[in-house]
Each structure stands twice: as C-alpha cells, then as structure tokens.
Amino acid sequence: MSSPAPRPVIASMPRYVPGARGEVGGPEPIKLSSNEMPFGPLESVREVIAGASAGVNRYPDMFSVDLTERIAVRLGLEPAQVVVGGGSVAVLGHILQAYCGIGDEVMFAWRSFEAYPILTQLTGASPIMIPLTGEAEHDLLSMAAAISDRTKVVMVCSPNNPTGPVISAEAFEEFMQQVPSTVLVVLDEAYGEFVRAPYVVNGLDALTRYPNLVLLRTFSKAYGLAGLRVGYAAGPEDVIAHVRTCVTPFSVNSLAQTAAIASLDAEQELLERVEQVVAERIRVHEALTAQGWTVPASEGNFVWIAARENTDAVVEAATAAERPLLVRPFAGEGVRITIGTPEENDAMLAALDGLHFRA
C-alpha cells in the first residue's frame, strides 16, 4: 500500500535533510553562516517579550494591526500599503501565491537568495534564472530582455545575498522603464539598513513611481529578531490586499508582534549596532582583499569570497579553527561569511590567512 501522491512538483523537490549540529562537547562554534546579528536582543526588547509571554493562551492579533500601523507610520505609507507575515520569506511566498501558478514564469538573478527558486517552484511556476555579471551584480539589461508573456513576477535583491553588491538607483530606473506594468517587481531589501553606498536604489522612493513594485523587508537582520519570524511587504494598496488574502491566519505570533514594535521604539539603539557591523564589514573587506581574496564590494552584513574551486578548502580552514567557524559555502562558487563581533571576525581572518592557493 502506498500513501497518496502529492502534486508532482512537490514530489520532485529535494527532501529536507537536517544539517550538521556540531560536535557534542567540542568548543562552541562561531556562527557566521546565516547573516544574523551577533548581538543578543536589547534588554528593553527582552522585557517586552517576557511580558507578552503571559498572554500566549490567547490568539495573536490576526492582522497585526498595531505593528502594521507602526511600520506604515515609520515608512510614511498608509497601513493598507503594508502586510506583515511570519518572516519576509513567508511574505514572499504569499506574493508568489497571489500572482503565479502553473505555466507562469518567475525571474530572478542567480546566484541570489536560495528561497527564490524553492518558493517559485512550490507555486508551480518556472524559475527563470539570469546569471550575475562578472562583478557579482544583477544583470538588469539581460533580465529585462528575458521577460516574456509568461513572466508574472521579477525578484531583485539589493544588496544581493550572497554576493553583496547593491543595485544603483540609475540602473533600477532604467530597468523599470523596460518592465511592462503587468509584471510585478519585488525589490528585496532585507539588508537595506546596512547599505552606505549613496547611489543605491531607494525602494520607498521608487514606490511612488511604479504601481507594479513591492518592497520586501524584515526584522530578522538589522533588528536582530531572526528567531521570532517577522517581516513585511510594502507597496500599492491593491497588490498588498491580494497578498494579505494569502497570509496564513495568525501566522505572526504575539511575541513577534510585540517585539517588533519594541524594536521600532528602540530603533536608534539598534541602528547604532548596525553601524558597528558596517564598520566591521569595511575592516573585514579590506583585510580579506589584503590577504589576496577576490571579494566583491558588499553592502550587507556579510562578505562573499569568490573562492571558486577552492571553496571546500576555505570551509575546511574555517572548520579547523580553534573555535570552529561556521560559514556558508556554495560548492564551486564561493563562501558567504557573516560579519560578527570584532573578535569573531579576527578569528575568521586568522583562519583564512594561511591559505596558499588564494588568487
């Protein structure tokens, strides 16, 4: 007897395999693999989370009304232009669910965020992946040229995970001029708070010009709430209304809603931490470049070492460090390393310094 067959696309997806969890009893690894903030939550945010725990016998606010309003005020938008979800990955899933299905195409650069092809395929749509340029940047001209009658959504990521470069305002405007208004463009600004390049596209500013643009943002990175799962999309009211229809009811839990509001209250304090990460990113970039690695300019809280065929060796060197360093390898392409505390970054730089094959 066999169990019922799922949709064919589900059967064709790779099975989830639990990742390695480090050696039990060994030194605690330094986690530089998931682009998290290296600091724990602010005391004020911790207190609010602890307080909210007293009410978890109740369902959360189904539509995250207070949080949605706070985000809207912060961005200078109407609450109807913002939809909150259980992490921005979940929100992106809802966007795709609202706009595409079997026979449609979803376009994005590659390599980019790993969730893009997975979420695309889950809807039944086909991923169209356009290679990054030699500078590890989006090739927006090729992307615009590859749009077809079937293209429903184009995702662009600035700064690009895992390579780091941003999209310039000029390149984005030129791109949007070429995208038909019937195609939805999703600008993923997960790392927006870490950007210091003055020429970067400003999503909020662009929203005023394009009825087919939506922004994706998150509390997981700069705001340090990755474990609570809360993110949002901002865009035109009608687009946001369709996305809201797809949101799983009650998927943003009450602790996450309260903590996100408390984080907006403590924004200045959190942005000072972001400033420290940015300073470290600049230092790490210079140090890696001085060691001889090829590292594209990064505007996120991570750097990309284009190690190519030496990727495995970089990972081995990182893992062999006194306190093992967890980094994110992409076989044959490179390694993404999250910016940690100054001490963690020093440990990483020391581990990679001795490698002789570097370009």
Ligand X SMILES: *Cc1c(COP(=O)(O)O)cnc(C)c1O
- For every residue of 79-90, DSSP letters joined together read GGGEEEESSHHH
Structure tokens that stand for 337 in this block: 């390393």
By C-beta, is 113 or 194 nearer to ligand X?
113
Q: Peptide bond preceding 70: is omega within 30 degrees of 0, i.e. cis?
A: no
x/- map, 84-103, ligand X, by CB under 6 A: ---xxx--------------
By C-beta, is 113 or 304 nearer to ligand X?
113
Q: Considering only CA atoms, which of 189, 231, 179 is closest in space to residue 210?
A: 179
The residue behind tokens 């500013």 is 205
Q: Which helix (H) or strand (E) holds 258?
A: helix 254-265
Report which residue's Cβ sits closest to ligand X. 87
Q: Does 137 bind ligand X (CB under 6 A)?
A: no
Query: In the complex, what is the shortest distance from the CB of residue 43 to ligand X, in angstroms, rounded to a whole number?
Result: 23
Q: Which stretch binds ligand X (CB under 6 A): 69-77, 217-225, 242-250, 323-331?
A: 217-225
Query: In the complex, what is the shortest distance from the CB of residue 230 to ligand X, in angstroms, rounded to a whole number?
Result: 7
x/- map, 5-44, ligand X, by CB under 6 A: ------------------------------x---------
Structure tokens that stand for 94 in this block: 């809802």
CA dist., res. 339 & res. 345, Å (int):
7
CA dist., res. 121 & res. 326, Å (int):
29
x/- map, 286-325, ligand X, by CB under 6 A: ----------------------------------------
CA dist., res. 73 & res. 316, Å (int):
47
Interacting residue with ligand X among 99, 108, 113, 172 (CB under 6 A): 113
- For ligand X (CB under 6 A), the number of binding residues is 14
- For every residue of 55-110, DSSP letters joined together read GTTSPPPTT-HHHHHHHHHHHT--GGGEEEESSHHHHHHHHHHHH--TT-EEEEEE
Q: Which stretch binds ligand X (CB under 6 A): 137-145, 167-175, 199-207, 215-223?
A: 215-223
159 contacts 138 by C-beta, under 8 angstroms: no
Interacting residue with ligand X among 190, 201, 234, 239 (CB under 6 A): 190
Q: Does 257 bind ligand X (CB under 6 A)?
A: no
Q: Which stretch binds ligand X (CB under 6 A): 24-32, 83-91, 291-299, 323-331?
A: 83-91
The residues that touch ligand X, with contacts defined as CB under 6 A, are 35, 87-89, 113, 157, 161, 188, 190, 218, 220-221, 226, 231
